[in-house]
Structures are given as structure tokens and as C-alpha cells.
Copies of this chain bind each other. A is one copy, B any other.
Amino acid sequence: MSVITIPKPATQARAATAATMKAFVYRGPGKKGLEDRPKPEITAPTDAIVKIVKTTICGTDLHILKGDVPTCQPGRILGHEGVGIVDQVGSAVTAFKPGDRVLISCVSACGKCDYCRKQMYSHCTTGGWILGNTIDGTQAEFVRTPYADTSLYPIPEGSDEEALVMLSDILPTGFECGVLNGKIQPGSVVAIVGSGPIGLAALLTAQFFSPAEIIMIDLDDNRLAVAKRFGATASINSTDGKAVAKLKAMTGNRGVDTAIEAVGIPATFELCQDIIAPGGTIANIGVHGKKVDLHLESLWDRNISITTRLVDTATIPMLFKTVGAHKIDPKLLITHRFKLDQILDAYETFGNAAKTKALKVIIEA
């Protein structure tokens, strides 16, 4: 990526003021704060600067704050989701102009490398998930978005922008990693292990394919109740360790066609192995921190598939169409709303979801 050096203007009092913004900054494990930061500037001809309208917090942001994501260093502005208004574009940007309302993909895609060519944007050789990770992110008044033409999406006139924030990451994640990878088909029997925001995003988008049954498994009765409202046909509280037996009873001892892992720990991944029917697919969405046991001694002859995936957000245009056609209501996932200067409260609420019953929180910039 060729970088153009843009000289700072010498003395412009008013501009200097305008060029400062509020931003939420990771300061090292357990430390964070709202800071005044310089407004970002175009550094490559394919960049855009976007004024944030609404953003949100992802479970991954909580991991960063704990110090679990080594690629993200102290001093980083967090956030990789949001909608906004294009403020400036680089000289090679042709699809957008200042004033355009846009959705920001959590994944930056150069559009040229081998991976981008096959829409595996997550592995773009110079992009991928970099926003709020290796470059500054969206929990601020402005953000610089690399590869704007292939990483931003135009928002149709009259859209509900709050709903669209769910298309930056969580809905494509549930859909691509869980539903598409899980090959859900009309009449399928599906289990989703984990009824948090990601599991619920999989639940909502699974219904695009009219499965016969979606069985939600979690430890929290409140989350399972939410899942039933969102379209789950059955739920299992796995606290008593009897989830496998209960699921087998529900499925005539056959198991499920698709098991979606939406937690990210060994126990839930093992549960998926115990309930998958011959010929079925285990679609992993969870972010795992350690290895898991794979019971090939019982699975080697079961004709199953196991898939992993970092979201590519290649389905954002398709999701726009389904939202526009009212096939899905992303706002179901939004439980709380904050202003940017309340973002510490927003993190507090989102981080204590068991108590606050938070799913996704909207932050207005």
C-alpha cells in the first residue's frame, strides 16, 4: 500500500480545533478511557474518512480490554462496527463522495489479492480485521477506513441506520460462519450452542432457509427465553449436564443436521460433537483460546464436516436486501442506547450482560 504523506497545515487555529475528536482508547489490560485525539487523515489514495453516526461494542472489544488480543496494542482506538457519513475520500476512491451515508464493514478488503478475489475478505493480505485492532477504529467521532470502495457499503435512502449497525459484523458473522457454513436447508434440524448475541444472530439468519427445528442451548434461562421469542423452536438449559440426552430425545435419537458453536470453549465444542447426526456439519463461530478434543475415534466414520471462519462480510449486500424486504429485523438485537460520551457506561452495561440482559448496545457519536 503506497502511502502519500500529507503535510500538516502550519497554523490554522480553527482547523486545529476542528481536527480534534473524542475517541475511546484501550490503554492496556484493564485500562481504558475516552480521550481527545486528532481527527484522522487520508494516508492512502484508497482511504476515506467517515464521520461516525452510530457504532456499537463487540464481544471482541471486551477480549481486547482484558489483554487477550496481542495484535491490539495500548493506545488503540477500539471499534470495528458502525454507520456514518463520508467526510473525505482519497484520490482513487470512485464509489463514494463526501456526504454519502455508509455502513462500515468490520473487515477491510483491498479487492485485489487472491483472497479478496474469492470474497474471502477476512484474509485480505493487507486488510482483514484491522479496524480497532491494528489501526484505529470506530468508537470515535471519525475513523479512517482503508480500501473505502470495497470496505464501505452505501446506505439506501430511508433506511433505519440503527438496524444497519448490526450488518457491520454480528449478522454477517452469524450468517456466514454459522448458517452458510452450516449448510442449513429447508427442513433441517439445527442446534445452536450459545444464546448470546452471536448465537442469536445465527438464529435470526438461519430462518432465511426455513429449517424445521432450531434448538437453542445455553446456561441462561433469560437468553433462552429471548431465543424462543426470536424464533427458536425449542430450548435446552444445559446447566444440569443433560443437554445431549435431552437433544437426542427431541430428535428421535438422531441428532442434528447442523450444530453451530457460538461460545468458544472446549465444552461447547464437545457438545456439538455429541449431537451431530451422520452427514451433518458443525459450524464453529466461537473464538477459541485453547485447543479442544476432537473425538475422531467416534467421528471418523460419521461423514461429518467441521468448519471454521472469520467473517468475510461478503454477504453484507445480500443482508441489505433481506433487511429492506423485512425478512429479518436486526433491531431485535439492540437492547440499550448511549451517547459517545457515555461509552464507559455502555461498556459497563454490555460487559455485565447476565445482569443487564444486554445484547447489543448502540452508541451515538
Contacts and interface: CB of A to CB of B under 8 A. Distances in A.
B322 A210 contact: yes
A187 B324 CA distance: 9
B120 A278 contact: yes
Interface string A285-303: 0111111111111011111
Which one of A187, A269, A293, A295 has the greatest number of beta carbons of chain B within 10 Å? A187
Given A150-B112, A279-B118, A301 B291 contact: no
What is the interface residue range for chain A against chain B?
35 or more
> Copy number in this complex?
4
A320 B2 CA distance: 27
Contacts of A114: 317
A295 B299 contact: no
Contacts of A279: 115, 118, 120, 123
A94 B209 CA distance: 34
Contacts of A320: 187
Nearest to A286: B300
A45 interface: yes
Contact of A120 (B45, B112, B303): B303
A306 B277 CA distance: 16
Interface stretch (A235-243, A307-315, A335-343): A307-315
A92 interface: yes
A105 interface: no
A92 B294 CA distance: 42
B45 A91 contact: yes
A67 interface: no
A250 interface: no
A2 B212 CA distance: 32
A287 B301 CA distance: 8
A46 interface: yes
B117 A119 contact: yes
A253 interface: no
Contacts of A307: 304-306
Interface in A111-135: 111-112, 114-115, 117-120, 122-123
Interface of A: 1-2, 45-46, 91-92, 94-95, 111-112, 114-115, 117-120, 122-123, 149-150, 185-187, 207-213, 233, 264, 269, 278-279, 284, 286-297, 299-310, 312, 314, 317-322, 324-325, 327
**Smallest CB-CB A-B distances: 3 pairs:** A92-B92, A187-B321, A301-B310
10 contacts: A45-B92, A46-B92, A91-B91, A91-B92, A114-B317, A186-B327, A269-B296, A291-B294, A291-B296, A305-B306
